[in-house]
């Protein structure tokens, strides 16, 4: 019987493979870097009457080593895909042109068409002009339409004073991997300059940020301020951040694992933030903590004795006009998953807190919870990893709700950065001191080359670290933080196959993937009965190879891997049926998988 089933599977797969296909050549346009404005002329001009894309499947290819002067923002109603030429030179740079009146753009891209697919790969977007002047209140990308499937990978975003990505559209899918967000800050507004800021409430379908580096930014590197179905912040490195790395307190399905936070909330908070009415608006800030969670609360000390108010959890994001109804908020189905994150404040920052608080004579008139005013010394409240109120919410409300909560192995660990990276703390401390004394006037860029334009390549910072314990401390056994700083581990992570148990199977087997149908990722289990080469490949329904998951020698054992719905180039594939094939010298099998979006 097994032989019959195997023959049927092989016949089915062979028929799919043999099906005639019509393969269209890719529509690639190579965009020249000159004259200034050519990139926006070419892309903005590729439209039909009404402004929608004339060629929605077109790929725009930019040349590595070149600088593209942008004279007006790319305003996109539909799909957009940008790639770079092959090579190891600096990615193509998008920079603000200096216009005849000495002005410049204040953002680079705006997406206004619903249901579009956006893929940006290997670009360097910089907010510095050729005269080394930074843009004013600037954004990199504005997403202003609903249901956009947005992917950005292997890119660098440098110098933005408001945010790199502003999300205003509902139900978008964010896939942000292998990027660097650096030097995003505003000289006089310390809440200006970060990687990602979503409106409130803005619902997100998926919100995945994996293997990114955040280096020398002011605030708001990850945002989840609306109903969410799946939010992941994993294997990211965040080094030097002035305030609020996150806006996440009411997230519904939140996974924050295997990250490194180093001086990531350096200012902490002052009495205005902690005591005054900021608490009800931004408890992330007021509590001076990095990880935040809030639930429906009318009984705690904070709700009754301090604020005389009911705190809102995810139910605060009910928005029927945008498809979020009350029945979608199920407290027992909430997920708070915080595991294996490392936190560290260097000694210089701790010493600064002590010295400043011991000597400051500044005081502010603060609005107290009872409505009165009080004169309070302007001390700094050092940040914590998880605030007292967040921990109380986890231990009481979420526990009583039966929510899926895992908070474990979040430790204080010094990664051991290089001398050059460690020295940057002095610039951040000087900035925090200016904030605290009202003398703010200059940003605190990491700028060893003393010039931002054109950007240096390779990047001058190296955030690989020497702490060997941290190099295998992830839930997956890999290093904490962005694995791109450990290339060998990153390569292994990309093809990671986990061993399941020690019992040796007697037969080969490919199990049905689970979940199936799936979105965005599915698990795959298989058994190998004897040592030999194992090839695990995903094909589309036409028999065309989509992705090689594994192709190497394996010993006998039971294994598990996963597929995240991307092809060999890291691009997300369309919804539909896919074929999972395993091939060894002695065994072949195929399973159907269904990807739903």
pLDDT of 309 reads 81
Give the domain range for residue 474.
Answer: 469-494
Rounded to an integer, what distance in angstroms lies between the CA atom of residue 81 and that of residue 58? 7
Give domain status of residue 442, yes or no.
no
Cα dihedral across residues 412, 413, 415, 421: positive or negative: positive
Residues 128 and 242 in one domain: yes
Residues 475 and 408 in one domain: no
Give domain status of residue 571, yes or no.
yes
Can you tell me whether residue 431 is helix, strand or coil? Answer: helix
Domain termination site, one of 419, 451, 482 = 419
Residues 151 and 280 in one domain: yes
Number of domains forming the structure of the chain? 3
Give domain status of residue 482, yes or no.
yes
Give domain status of residue 445, yes or no.
no
∠ CA 536-542-548, nearest 5°, is 20
Residues 482 and 553 in one domain: no
Give domain status of residue 362, yes or no.
yes
Give domain status of residue 90, yes or no.
yes
pLDDT of 69 reads 99
Question: With contact defined as beta carbons under 8 Å apart, do 567 and 547 qualify?
Answer: yes
Question: With contact defined as beta carbons under 8 Å apart, do 122 and 542 qualify?
Answer: no
Which CATH number is 133's domain given? 2.160.20
Rounded to an integer, what distance in angstroms lies between the CA atom of residue 135 and that of residue 555? 56
Of 103, 282, 320, give the one whose Cα is nearest residue 203.
320
Q: Can you state the percent helix, strand and coil of the chain, rounding each to 5? A: 20, 35, 50
The pair of three-digit structure tokens given for residue 416, joined into one six-digit string: 């051991």
pLDDT of 278 reads 52
Which CATH number is 554's domain given? 2.60.40.4070
Alpha-helix runs per DSSP H in 242-320: 271-274, 278-281, 283-286, 301
The pair of three-digit structure tokens given for residue 331, joined into one six-digit string: 């407290």
Residues 97 and 177 in one domain: yes
Residues 479 and 501 in one domain: no
Domain termination site, one of 494, 509, 540 = 494
Of 379, 386, 346, 356, give the one whose Cα is nearest residue 263.
346
Residues 555 and 408 in one domain: no
pLDDT of 8 reads 38
- What residues pair up with 367 in beta bridges, in sequence order? 373
The pair of three-digit structure tokens given for residue 485, joined into one six-digit string: 């700083």
Q: Angle between the 425-437 and 347-359 helix axes, to the nearest 10 degrees?
A: 20
Residues 196 and 343 in one domain: yes
State how far Cα 77 lies from the chain centre: 24
pLDDT of 95 reads 99
β-pairing, 28-30 vs 253-257, is: unpaired
Residues 286 and 368 in one domain: yes
pLDDT of 273 reads 66
Cis peptide leading into residue 26 (ω within 30°): no
Residues 294 and 391 in one domain: yes
∠ CA 300-301-303, nearest 5°, is 65
Residues 300 and 415 in one domain: yes
Q: Which CA distances in Å does 537 have to 13, 39, 524, 584? A: 12, 37, 11, 12
pLDDT of 190 reads 85
pLDDT of 446 reads 97
- Say how many Å lie between the first and final Cα of the chain, rounded: 36
Rounded to an integer, what distance in angstroms lies between the CA atom of residue 359 and that of residue 342? 31
Question: With contact defined as beta carbons under 8 Å apart, do 242 and 190 qualify?
Answer: yes
Residues 391 and 504 in one domain: no
**pLDDT tens per residue, the chain (597 residues)?**
444 344 334 444 443 343 333 334 579 999 999 999 999 999 999 999 989 999 999 999 999 999 999 999 999 999 999 999 999 999 999 999 999 999 999 999 999 999 999 999 999 999 999 999 999 999 999 999 999 999 999 999 999 999 999 999 999 999 999 999 999 999 888 889 999 999 989 999 999 999 999 999 999 999 999 999 989 999 999 999 998 899 998 999 999 999 999 999 998 877 776 666 454 433 444 456 888 899 999 998 878 877 778 888 999 999 999 999 999 999 999 999 999 999 999 999 999 999 999 999 999 887 776 777 888 888 888 888 888 888 999 999 999 999 999 999 999 999 999 999 999 999 999 999 998 898 877 899 999 988 999 999 999 999 999 999 999 999 889 999 999 999 989 877 877 787 777 788 999 999 999 888 888 888 899 999 999 989 999 999 999 999 989 888 888 998 889 898 988 877 789 999 999 999 998 999 999 999 987
Rounded to an integer, what distance in angstroms lies between the CA atom of residue 196 and that of residue 208? 12
Give domain status of residue 131, yes or no.
yes
The pair of three-digit structure tokens given for residue 578, joined into one six-digit string: 């896919």
Give domain status of residue 30, yes or no.
no
């Amino acid at each position: 019987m097994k032989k019959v089933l195997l023959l049927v599977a092989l016949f089915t797969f062979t028929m799919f493979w043999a099906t005639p296909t019509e393969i269209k050549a890719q529509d690639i346009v190579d965009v020249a870097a000159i004259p200034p404005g050519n990139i926006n002329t070419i892309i903005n001009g590729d439209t039909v009457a009404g402004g929608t894309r004339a060629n929605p499947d077109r790929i725009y290819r930019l040349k590595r080593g070149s600088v593209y002067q942008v004279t007006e923002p790319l305003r996109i109603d539909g799909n957009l895909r940008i790639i770079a030429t092959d090579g190891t030179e600096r990615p193509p740079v998008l920079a603000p042109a200096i216009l005849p009146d000495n002005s410049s753009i204040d953002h680079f891209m705006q997406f206004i068409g619903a249901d579009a697919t956006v893929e940006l790969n290997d670009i360097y977007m910089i907010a510095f002009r050729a005269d080394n002047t930074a843009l004013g209140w600037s954004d990199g990308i504005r997403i202003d339409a609903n249901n956009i499937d947005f992917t950005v990978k292997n890119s660098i975003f440098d110098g933005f004073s408001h945010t790199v990505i502003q999300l205003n559209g509902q139900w978008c899918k964010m896939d942000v991997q292998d990027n660097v967000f650096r030097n995003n800050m505003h000289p006089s507004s310390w809440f200006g300059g970060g990687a990602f800021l979503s409106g409130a409430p803005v619902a997100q379908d998926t919100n995945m940020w994996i293997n990114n580096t955040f280096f020398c930014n002011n605030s708001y590197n990850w945002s989840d301020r609306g109903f969410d179905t799946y939010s992941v912040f994993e294997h990211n490195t965040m080094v030097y951040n002035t305030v609020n790395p996150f806006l996440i307190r009411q997230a519904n399905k939140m996974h924050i694992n295997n990250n490194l936070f180093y001086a990531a909330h350096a200012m902490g908070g002052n009495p205005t933030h902690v005591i005054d009415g900021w608490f009800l608006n931004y408890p992330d800030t007021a509590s001076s903590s990095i990880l935040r969670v809030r639930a429906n609360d009318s009984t705690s000390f904070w709700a009754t004795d301090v604020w005389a108010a009911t705190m809102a959890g995810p139910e605060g994001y009910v928005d029927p006009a945008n498809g979020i109804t009350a029945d979608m908020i199920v407290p027992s189905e909430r997920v708070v998953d915080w595991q294996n994150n490392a936190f560290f404040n260097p000694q210089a920052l701790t010493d600064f807190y002590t010295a400043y608080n011991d000597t400051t004579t500044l005081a502010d008139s603060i609005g107290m919870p009872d409505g009165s005013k009080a004169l309070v010394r302007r001390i700094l409240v050092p940040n914590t990893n998880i605030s007292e109120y967040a921990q109380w919410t986890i231990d009481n409300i979420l526990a009583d709700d039966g929510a899926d909560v895992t908070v474990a192995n979040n430790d204080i660990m010094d990664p051991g950065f290089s001398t050059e990276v460690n020295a940057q703390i002095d610039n951040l401390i000087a900035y925090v001191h200016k904030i605290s004394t009202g003398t703010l006037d200059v940003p605190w860029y990491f700028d060893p080359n003393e010039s931002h334009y054109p950007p240096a390549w390779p990047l001058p910072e190296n955030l690989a670290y020497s702490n060997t314990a941290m190099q295998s401390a992830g839930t997956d056994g890999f290093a904490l933080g962005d694995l791109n700083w450990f290339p060998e581990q990153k390569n292994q992570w990309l093809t990671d196959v986990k061993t399941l148990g020690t019992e040796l199977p007697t037969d080969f087997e490919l199990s049905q993937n689970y979940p199936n149908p799936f979105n965005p990722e599915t698990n795959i289990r298989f058994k190998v009965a004897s040592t030999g080469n194992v090839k695990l490949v995903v094909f589309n329904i036409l028999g065309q190879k989509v992705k090689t998951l594994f192709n190497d020698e394996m010993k006998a054992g039971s294994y598990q891997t996963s597929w995240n719905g991307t092809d060999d180039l890291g691009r997300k594939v369309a919804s539909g049926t896919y074929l999972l094939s395993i091939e060894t010298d002695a065994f072949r099998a195929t399973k159907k998988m269904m990807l739903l979006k």
